[in-house]
Amino acid sequence: MGSDATDQPRRSRRERPAKPALSRDGIVATAVGIMRSEGLAKVTMRRLAQELDTGPASLYVYVANTAELHAAILDELLEPLRAEDGGDWRERLEGLLTSYTTTLFAHPGLARAALVIQPSGAHYLRLVESLLALLDEGGIPPAQAAWGVDLLLQYTTATAAEQATRDQSADTQAVWDSLTDTLHGTSDRTHPHIADLATRLVSGTAEQRMSWGIATLINGIRATPVPTGDAPDRRDRV
Amino acid sequence: MGSDATDQPRRSRRERPAKPALSRDGIVATAVGIMRSEGLAKVTMRRLAQELDTGPASLYVYVANTAELHAAILDELLEPLRAEDGGDWRERLEGLLTSYTTTLFAHPGLARAALVIQPSGAHYLRLVESLLALLDEGGIPPAQAAWGVDLLLQYTTATAAEQATRDQSADTQAVWDSLTDTLHGTSDRTHPHIADLATRLVSGTAEQRMSWGIATLINGIRATPVPTGDAPDRRDRV
DNA sequence: ACCTGAACACCGTTCAAGT
DNA sequence: ACCTGAACACCGTTCAAGT
């Protein structure tokens, strides 16, 4: 009983489980799959089309371009993100931002895409909502929270983008060594401050830096009022 | 008299002013030229080779890869950056960071490269030195200044990367409108904080946001001590 | 309306062979 | 040592033509 062509009269089966109809959701889901197994760099229109057993042109019926596709992938990855229940608002805020960063870390290259596209998917909005709720709980004035949430997300996204890229490249250690050497070798006369702080400039683990960075941002956001007056919209729209 | 073969016995001239010898500096200078006139996206190994009248393989004698080339271009652009003379240290710090951002703004795409590569050229080091001097002048504790300078440069670089990309794309307005609509259309019940702050989330000009962001970072850096103890090197090297 | 083959106009990087 | 032609293994996007 090696064959199973019983109730499906004619149609090439096996290999592919009956080519499913194309849909935006199906395309995004397949894209996520490729990214998880091979990284974002492999998620190209051509490769994706191949996976879906069609030509690249077909995808443009559902996705405007590669950037939009990457935005959709990102939002999909944010699905499991949720703030913890117990604890101090600061701890929960740091926890939520850390899981956001961890998510981006796990998928090198997506963080860079996130910096370049303006995410606006459902899961991203939920993340923003959670962050605003925590800042509110911490008594941060609304205007500062509104601008601050941008700062917090930008910081974590940019950090993930940097870190992810560096981990990816094979010669990270070499680059690092040469930077350390450059800093320590800097002349005391031309660059006194760098020479003085050489060790401190590169001290700390990524986790320590991130934790300090988030605390620094929160302290800054709390302490810095936004300019008063009816500030115009960023696009000068009324 | 269509020919002009007078005092140069044999050698195809005209068109190209006698092909110069390749050198790293020449390659970088040519790359900067292409970037200024056509944008970073056009600075490819192939295009650069064509400009230098050779094949792409020849460039690999002087430049390890495209990322290294972009790093070299960035450093070249930082050459004219200098802190102003007069005024408050805060104003001069903001001024210097603003000219850094303006430089990246003027060349869309380079900011993104700056986030991905660890800059370490001579002009970048001078910028770091200037920032450390200003933070020192402002009485920021050395350990906080050392970590803070990273935060300030990351913030400005990431902001430029975001802004540059968005200005570049033709349908910026459409994306913006749809984001605004999304925010304002967000249900009061599912996303109460977003609904409440919708206007504030998108308020302010890019300049106002940047200025507030820098002030926020400085306040945070001043207020947040770095973890004590002999913190290990970021790479655990002793 | 949805889908597609084929084409247009490109990429980075390597390598064996030359000078 | 430096330079190169040619190749390998790819890209995103468009468009006319089909169903």
CATH label of the domain that carries residue B51:
1.10.10.60
pTM across the whole model? 0.85
Q: Is the C-beta of residue B62 closer than 7 Å to nucleic acid chain C?
A: no
pLDDT score, position A186? 74
Q: Which nucleotides of D are covered by protein (CB under 7 A)?
A: 2-7, 10-16
Q: For residues B107 and B238, which has the higher predicted lDDT (pLDDT)?
A: B107
Q: Flag whether A233 is in a domain.
A: no
DSSP conformation letters of A77-109:
HTTT----SSS-HHHHHHHHHHHHHHHHHHSTT
Contacts of B90 in chain A (CB under 8 A): none
Question: Exposure pattern of B6-42 as b/e (b: 16+ CB <10 Å)?
Answer: eeeeeeeeeeeeeeeebeeeebbebbbebbeeeebee
Put simply, the answer to whether B216 touches A115 (Cβ < 8 Å) is no
Question: By the 8 A CB rule, do A210 and A101 touch?
Answer: yes
Q: Flag whether A128 is in a domain.
A: yes
Asked if residue A66 and residue A93 are part of one domain, the reply reads no
How close is the nearest chain A Cα to the Cα of B73, in Å? 18
Asked if residue B176 and residue B156 are part of one domain, the reply reads yes
Asked if residue A97 and residue A52 are part of one domain, the reply reads no
DSSP conformation letters of B40-105:
GGG--HHHHHHHTTS-HHHHTTT-S-HHHHHHHHHHHHTTT----SSS-HHHHHHHHHHHHHHHHH
pLDDT tens, B66-95? 989 998 999 999 999 999 888 899 999 999
Q: Coil, helix or strand for B13? A: coil
Q: Flag whether B13 is in a domain.
A: no
Select from A176, A182, A196 the Cβ nearest to the Cβ of B235. A176
Q: How far apart are CA B208 and CA A147, in angstroms?
A: 11
Asked if residue A107 and residue A66 are part of one domain, the reply reads no
Select from A197, A224, A234 the Cβ nearest to the Cβ of B132. A197
B127 pLDDT band, cuts 50/70/90, is: very high
Q: Would you give the distance in Å from CA A18 to the centre of its chain?
A: 34
Question: By the 8 A CB rule, do B55 and B91 touch?
Answer: no
Q: Is the C-beta of residue A58 closer than 7 Å to nucleic acid chain C?
A: yes
DSSP state of B20: P
pLDDT tens, B146-166? 999 999 999 999 999 887 655
Share of chain B above pLDDT 90, in %: 59
pLDDT score, position B13? 33
Residue B53's region, left for phi above 0, alpha for psi from -120 to 50, else beta, is: left
Question: Tokens representing B104?
Answer: 């990246």
Q: How far apart are CA A164 and CA A108, in angstroms?
A: 5
The answer to whether residue B142 neighbours chain A at the CB level (below 8 Å) is yes
B5 pLDDT band, cuts 50/70/90, is: very low
Domain end marker among A48, A77, A106: A77
B9 pLDDT band, cuts 50/70/90, is: very low
Q: Based on the structure, what is the number of domains in chain B?
A: 2
How close is the nearest chain B Cα to the Cα of A18, in Å? 37
pLDDT tens, B47-66? 999 999 999 999 999 999 99
Contacts of A193 in chain B (CB under 8 A): 129, 132-133, 136
Q: Flag whether A43 is in a domain.
A: yes
Q: For residues A1 and B29, which has the higher predicted lDDT (pLDDT)?
A: B29
Question: By the 8 A CB rule, do B227 and B146 touch?
Answer: no
Q: How far apart are CA A99 and CA A131, in angstroms?
A: 13
Q: Output the domain CATH number for residue A122.
A: 1.10.357.10
Using alpha carbons only, give the angle B156, B160, B164 rounded to the nearest 5 degrees: 175
Q: Is the C-beta of residue B60 closer than 7 Å to nucleic acid chain C?
A: yes
pLDDT tens, B172-196? 556 666 677 777 777 778 999 999 9
Tokens 């929160």 found at: A218
- Supply the range of the domain harboring residue A127: 89-225
Question: Tokens representing B153?
Answer: 């440069």
Contacts of A151 in chain B (CB under 8 A): 155, 213, 216
Q: How far apart are CA A117 and CA B238, in angstroms?
A: 40
Q: Would you give the distance in Å from CA A224 to the centre of its chain?
A: 27
Q: Flag whether A14 is in a domain.
A: no
Select from A151, A208, A236 the Cβ nearest to the Cβ of B216. A151
Q: Flag whether A192 is in a domain.
A: yes
Question: Tokens representing A41?
Answer: 């760099």
Task: Collect the ranges in chain A with pLDDT lower than 70.
Answer: 1-19, 108, 164-178, 229-238
Asked if residue B103 and residue B206 are part of one domain, the reply reads yes
Domain end marker among B77, B108, B125: B77
Domain end marker among B35, B55, B77: B77
